[in-house]
Amino acid sequence: MKFFIDTADIQAISELNEMGLVDGVTTNPSLIMKSGRDIIEVTKEICSLVKGPVSAEVVATDASSMIKEGEKLAKIASNIAVKVPLTWDGLRACKELTSEGYMVNVTLCFSANQALLAAKAGATFISPFIGRLDDINIDGMDLISEIRTIYDNFEFDTQILGASIRTVNHITQCALIGADVITAPPNVLKQLAEHPLTFKGLELFTKDWAKTGQKII
């Protein structure tokens, strides 16, 4: 399973990229706002750091404007994936942009029917929002499972990109179900390494080692 980083924070991306943990990056208007930087400038810098797909989202709501914005964003770098919303206009934009040879990430997916439409429209990635479904007491993992089954039944090439990741359990479940990609904030990815028994064991080993009076270096 691929790890995408859901941030526009250059420092966080660089740190994780150096460890080989970044297969791509996803951004959105909220993350760009948080970065406080120009969308073209920060996206270009991210693309220079990361070899994999970097999702840059359109802000228009009609198909014609989405296509124009998508074409402009795609010119930033060859690894741009244009991000469009899962609306009827977004699907029209997806079809046009993919026909022009661009990668497209269809976002804000909340149902298997929506995911089916995105695949038919040629989406490179479909982004089901797990956490936001959980917020309204619907198990987001059921959606990942439904999409996996549908895509496998009909051999769609669209990759399932688990989004709105809130916990390490979301990542585990996505891996078990067979999502192709997850995108998560840097802090959640770092939490994958944490376990109370690891910390407890390390504390014990450190204390015992101190009692030996030895040094390795």
Domains, the chain: 2-212 (3.20.20.70)
The H or E element that residue 118 is part of is helix 112-120
Categorize the per-residue pLDDT at 182 as very low, low, confident or very high, splitting at 50, 70 and 90.
Answer: very high
- Tokens 């497209």, located at residue: 104
pLDDT of residue 58: 98
pLDDT of residue 164: 98
- Tokens 């997806």, located at residue: 94
Annotated catalytic sites, by residue? 83
pLDDT of residue 49: 97
Q: What is the percent of the chain with per-residue pLDDT over 90, rounded to a whole number? A: 100
pLDDT of residue 128: 98
Q: What is the mean pLDDT of the chain?
A: 97
pLDDT of residue 138: 97
Other Cβ atoms less than 10 A from the Cβ of 113: the count is: 11
pLDDT of residue 111: 98
R_g (Cα) of the chain, nearest Å: 20
pLDDT of residue 78: 98
Q: What is the 3-state secondary structure (H, E, C) of 136-186?
A: CCCCHHHHHHHHHHHHHHHCCCCEEEEECCCCHHHHHHHHHHCCCEEEECH
pLDDT of residue 33: 95
Q: What's the whole-model pTM score?
A: 0.96
